Every structure is written in C-alpha cells, then in structure tokens.
Chain A
C-alpha cells in the first residue's frame, strides 16, 4: 500500500512538474482517430490485436505553436499483441503535434513533444519487436526511481531518442537490425545532454543476427557525460562532450562484435584542455580532478576495435580480434601528479593503431595474441608490452619537456617458446627492464639511463646505446645476456 502511494505521488509530481494544469494535457492519438487525453500521468494505450501498420502520436495537447511543451508523462504502457502472422509495424511518435510524423531519417530533429517522461514500455515481446519509437523531450527521460534497475524504454527499435536534459532511464531495444525496414539498427540515434541510464539491445540469437547501436551523442560539456553502460552487438559512434564514467563508477561500453569509435572530447579539444588545465593547476594548485575530464573507461568487444578511443584516461580496452584504433589519452596535461593513464590493452589479434598517452603518460600493459605494430608514446612509463607474434613498434617513453629525466619501459617480450617473435622498429626509453625476443632483435635501442635487466634474443643486428656511462654494471649485464 505504501509503495502504491509513493508511486502515485511520484506520478503526480511528474505530471505537474511542467505546469499546474498539466494532468489533462498529455494526449495520444492512434492513427487518425480522435486524440485521447487519459487524464493521468500514468496510462495504458491498448492496441488490441495489431494486424496493420499503426502510428501512435503522443504529445502535449495544450502546446502553443512556437512554444515548448509544458507537460510531462509518467509511465506509458503499450498493451496489445501482434495478430497471428502479421508483420505490421507500430510507430510511436512522441514529439510536437505540429511536426509531421516521419521515420525516414533518424538525423531529423523533431520538435519536443513533452517535458519529461518516466517510462514507455511495450509489454508483449512480439509486438515490442515490431515497434519503433521517436521520443523528443524538452527535459529528461527519468526512468522509474522506484525501479531503477529495470528497463524504462522498452521497444523494438529506438529510431531517435533525443532529450534536452538527462536520460536517466534505461533503454532496451529488442528488434534485429533492419527488421523494421530501411537498414536501420536497433538503436539508431540516442542524444541527450547527459546519459546515466543503460542502453542495451536484446541478445543476438545466432551469429548472423545483429542488434546494433549506431549513434550515441551526449552534448553537454558541463554535464555528467556518460555514466551508464552501452551494450550491443555492434556500436557505431559514441561521442560525448562530457566524461565517460567517474572514478567510482566504471562505465562499460561493450560491442560484442565491433565498436566504431568512442570519443570523449571536449569542444576545446585535447590540446586546448591540456593547456587550460595545466594553467589552472599551476596557479591555484587544486587537486587533480578526474571527474571533469573526458575519459574512455572500459571498452570491450569480442571482435575488433577500430576508429578512435580518445579521452583522458582508460582502464581497460579488450578486443577478441585486433585493436587498430588510435588510442589517445592526452587531455590531462603535463603534471607529474596527474598522470594520464592508459590501463591495459588486450587483443586476441594484433595491436596496430597509434597508442599515445602523451609525455607524462602511463600505459600499464599492451598484450597481443598477434603482432604489435603500434607506434607507442608513453612518456612516463610503459610497464609491459608483450606480443605472441612480433613487435615492430616505434616505442618512446622519453619525456622531453619535463624535469623528469626519463620514462621507463618495464618489460618487452615478443614470441614464445612455441613461436618466433622478432623485435624490430625502435625503442627509446629512460630505463629498461627485461627485453626478450624469441627471434631476433633488429631494433635500435636507446636507453637514456639504465638497463636494469637482460636483453635476450637469438641474434641482434642493431646497437644498444646506453646514455649514461655510470650505469656500466647494467651494460655488462646486457652484454652477458647477449653472449648467452
């Protein structure tokens, strides 16, 4: 009983948040029938047995031309079922009543239909997967605060969901790519000032069935960015002007087959933000603030990762196949106590894209089942780079613009006892741990300070140069290793 009362109170508050007379103004219209004003924030639209294409418009009946909507809806439920053998499509158009309904181009921006919306759910799974939706809100997709773990938009295809405010609700799309026509994906276009809800598609049944998310765009650079997870078979572009995740909340972006690009880039761009932050830190000395910087937290796919991963920080990038993406982490500036961190990169195949965490950066690990050919700039530290195949990277851990004398390379390993792996390219580092090639090393190696472990290879064709003669012991250890 108490729970019901709370729900009622929430619904009432939601309905009234735009204007005091809002309750009677949300309307829906099925096809060309007379619009219905349900009179409550929560309402059900019962379609009965659906055997023909059906359009449902949901809007603010009191909206004045040229003025924004003033009312909100609570929980909207679409009831009914798909008639036997029917392939009808239900199209939900929640937008201004003055805009023509159109499901032609998901980049079209329909004018706003309501202020806020709590939930929009198609209950029958078969009908759900024949339902597509355009939702255009002047405010927020709030979800259900009493049921935050559940899905709050449940349809077959999100053709376009666009909120001028925050999307807090979780979004679920069940339809296969292309199943509702036009080559459109399960989630075509999601756009919001900030995104804290999760976005996911139904699990693929067989490998040829794909459910994809084409575009997620989060535009408010003063907002909270992306704090929900994003999961689909394929993810096209995720772009945010705000951060992805926080130090406390790990955000997972999973494209089970592919990820196009994930970019967290402020409009002033990496370099500009770098400079601005550097200046601010120097003048006032505030603690470094990860919260306000773009970051790509965790990216995982069973397939390949191509494109660009761009942010101040990443924890974890894993691909079952190749990582050919340019992975950069340059935003945080040249501060010793503000190291732009690259976490681990793990590829079942090869790692080939540029990896650049800048002059003060740190990469924990790069591990590849195949080759590593990436140019790597990790000016503070690169702890481990290991390829089952060969390594032909240009690796640089020198930090030339700092008073720090060097960066370091922890360990380098190519090949295994079962497979030949050569090290070519070039290595420039401050100090260097063990380097092992189950093949030859054909890379010039320049070590600014110290070789602290052995370099082992079947043959070496290029010189090792150690810049400071005072570390002669280590030079000898290298020589011993080579002799062996």
Chain B
C-alpha cells in the first residue's frame, strides 16, 4: 500500500514576540470555571484549570528555531564560563540543527538546517526549560547572570534526602518573571477551555485539546489511519491523523515521528495552540509530591512514538519526573506576561482563520 505523506506547510508565525522570537497566543476569559470532573476516580485535575488573569502562551512547543539560539548562547562561550544544568546531549542534529564554526575557542555553535525551523525539540529537562525562560527574561543577554535567574533562581536547583529524591528548585516562577513554564492551570486552560464552547460567551471544557470531545486520531500528518490500535497503521478509509503520538516506524517504516514539524496537523486547541497532543510531552510547574517527600514535575500531553494517550484527556495529567531528566519525550511551551494575539472572544475566530490560512 502506497502511503503518501502530504506536503506539510509550516504554519506561518505571525504573532512573534520581538524579544524571544516566539509566537504567542493571548489567553483571556479571566476567572474561567475550573474543570468540574466527571466522576472518574483516576481524574486528577478536578477543580483545576481556572486562571484569574490574562497571560500568553506559545502557539507551539519549543522549536528548533527557538532552541538553536539558546544552545549557541549556552555553549558558544569560553570553556571556563559554561552554563550549569544544560547538558549537551544529545547531539543537536537530533532536532534540526547543524554544527557550524564557533566564535569562541572551545565553544560549540549550531545553525538551523534549512526547512527544519519548526522541528520540535525533545531532551529538554525542566531545568533547561527554566534557564531558557531566564535567558528570555533578560532579553537574551549573553552574560552569565542572564541564565541563572529572572524567572527561576538556579541557586535553588538541587536535590536533598536519601538517594537525592527531593528536589529543592523553587516551586513557581519568580515575581515579575516575563517568561515561564506554564502552571498546570495555565496549560489546561490554554489546551482545553473554550470560552464559547456552549455558545457565545458560554464557556466549557473540551475533553481533548483538539477542540473536541472525541479522542484524537493519532498518526503521521496527512495520512488516513486506523484508530484504537497500537501501533497505528495506514488505512485509506480511516480518518486523517490529528496528533503525533501512538505511531512509529513499526507501522510506517519510511516515516519518522521525530521529524514531523510542529503545526503539521490541522487541529488546534480552542485558543489556537498546536500539538498539545503529541510531539513532546510538556513540562509544567505542577509538583506531584509522594508520601516519602519525593517530588516530581508534572508533564502534560501525549508524546511521540509512545502508546499512551491518557494525558490528552482533560481529567488526567501526564506522569512526572525529576527536573533534571532530559530524555527524548520532554519538551515544553513557554508562557509569558507579554501581550500576544487573540482574546477569549476571538478564540474560535482565530481557529477558523488559521485553518483558512493554512489552506491557502
């Protein structure tokens, strides 16, 4: 069976923050109702998702175009001035970068490979995400201090307890932070809450972040696929895939889930966020604490190549992990206080507009 992967046109990034270069969406509907739950005992987000202020959140997970300047700032510097908590692993060619000549002896530098600007970036620990926010908070300055505080004070980063099971990192962003890792409430609202779900001005929660109450269709973009099985395989009579999870090379030997650009699927959250389901699972500030005192940072959303989509449901978060773990599934999207496009009242219009724009 021939599988035709439709040409994927990267989404136009029209609402770029001039400081960070990030495309932000403004989330309004101040004081929205929290997720009420539906009586499932495994629903662990009941009463969450209400946000009492406006904020911005990036339309996409962190992209290669976002991450290359950060890595250059971190690694293309004198050998005695490395930035802590940012391991150079794996090789940035993983996520769409290529090595170029550094400007400092002993430094390392990369450029975005042509056409790879929107490639998602995994292998990001929570602490790396925090340092990225610090750097943007300081206008992407290159002095060492610009990386070490602002949104999150890296002096607090550490572990304590037997076997180092309890992290000491500051729980939430610093007052006055301009960029930060979204809280669980902010993430849930941006992904699932629709201020007009039940009619103009009558808000409600979508079960899934694809502006739908039906579980997303997972598979490569532009491909009709089977549903309800893992791994997903092509099915000409099936629906078009909507999210980059639950498939791998077992079902599509010639396709690679890790190279699918962000924004490749036509569905979005009610606010116009892409890939809240699929690609990387996204760090939040939320902390899960066990009875032993062990603490984990929560993530949200399904991720590439993994057979589980449970966390795409509004009532379930993803698992959690220590903030220093930078394995392939972890990425994030940035939240910010800076103004961005879109308002609550315009959310649906925004989605429609984006859909039309992508079709042109």
Taking Cβ atoms with an 8 Å cutoff, the residues of A that contact B are: 63, 66-69, 96, 100, 102, 104-109, 111-112, 138, 164-166, 178, 182-184, 193-194, 215, 217, 219-223, 237, 239, 241, 260-261, 263, 265-272, 275, 307-308, 310, 326, 328, 330, 354, 401
Contacts and interface: CB of A to CB of B under 8 A. Distances in A.
A266 B164 CA distance: 13
Q: Which of B90, B288, B299 has the most CB of A within 10 A?
A: B90
Given A100-B42, A237-B327, A111 B290 contact: yes
Contact of B91 (A215, A222, A326): A326
A193 B308 contact: no
Interface of B: 41-42, 75, 79-80, 82-91, 93-94, 105-106, 125, 127, 162-165, 229-231, 246, 281, 288, 290-294, 296, 299, 307-308, 310-311, 316, 318-322, 324-328
Contact of A182 (B163, B230, B291): B230
Given A107-B308, A220-B163, A354-B93, A271 B88 contact: yes
Contacts of B320: 107, 109
Given A108-B319, A219-B325, A307 B90 contact: yes
A277 to B, nearest CB: 12
Contacts of A194: 163
B292 A68 contact: yes
Contacts, number: 143
A460 to B, nearest CB: 28
A52 to B, nearest CB: 22
A164 B163 contact: yes
B89 A112 contact: no
A308 B89 contact: yes
A271 B41 CA distance: 45
Contacts of A222: 163-164
Given A166-B163, A268-B87, A271-B75, 11 more contacts: A100-B42, A102-B42, A105-B308, A112-B292, A178-B230, A183-B229, A193-B165, A222-B164, A267-B85, A271-B87, A354-B91
Contacts of A267: 85, 87, 125, 127, 324
A308 B95 CA distance: 13
A118 B26 CA distance: 53
A239 B328 CA distance: 10
Contacts of B311: 105
A269 B163 contact: no
A247 to B, nearest CB: 23
Contacts of B292: 68, 112, 138, 164
A326 B92 CA distance: 10
B328 A237 contact: yes
A328 B94 CA distance: 14
Nearest to B80: A275
A269 B293 CA distance: 26
The 10 A-B pairs of least Cβ separation, nearest first, read A269-B87, A183-B230, A107-B319, A183-B307, A308-B90, A193-B163, A267-B324, A326-B91, A68-B292, A68-B291
Contacts of B318: 105, 107
B291 A69 contact: yes
Given A67-B291, A164-B163, A193-B165, A272 B82 contact: yes
10 contacts: A100-B42, A107-B319, A109-B288, A109-B296, A164-B163, A219-B325, A272-B83, A310-B90, A326-B93, A326-B94
Nearest to A223: B163
A268 B93 contact: no
A326 B86 contact: no
A93 B322 CA distance: 23
A69 B294 CA distance: 13
B310 A184 contact: no
B308 A308 contact: no
B327 A308 contact: no
Nearest to B322: A219
A438 B89 CA distance: 37
B90 A263 contact: yes
A68 B161 CA distance: 14
B160 to A, nearest CB: 11
Contacts of B164: 193, 219-223
B91 A217 contact: no
B257 to A, nearest CB: 13
B312 to A, nearest CB: 11
A261 B321 CA distance: 19
A164 B165 contact: yes
A102 B42 CA distance: 8
A241 B294 contact: no
A110 to B, nearest CB: 9
B291 A111 contact: yes
Contacts of A102: 42
B147 to A, nearest CB: 12
A265 B165 contact: no
A165 B163 CA distance: 6
A268 B163 contact: no
B319 A105 contact: yes
B90 A184 contact: no
Given A217-B325, A219-B164, A237-B327, A310 B89 contact: yes
A183 B288 CA distance: 27
Contact of B89 (A104, A215, A265): A265
Contacts of B325: 217, 219, 239, 241
Contacts of A220: 163-164
B291 A272 contact: no
Contacts of B125: 267
A261 B79 contact: no
A328 B92 CA distance: 13
A308 B163 CA distance: 26
B291 A265 contact: no
Contact of A308 (B85, B94, B294): B94
Contact of A268 (B85, B106, B290, B299): B85
Contacts of B84: 268, 272
B204 to A, nearest CB: 25
A184 B310 CA distance: 14
B122 to A, nearest CB: 11
A100 B41 contact: yes
Contacts of A308: 89-91, 94
Nearest to A308: B90
Nearest to B246: A183
A328 B91 contact: yes
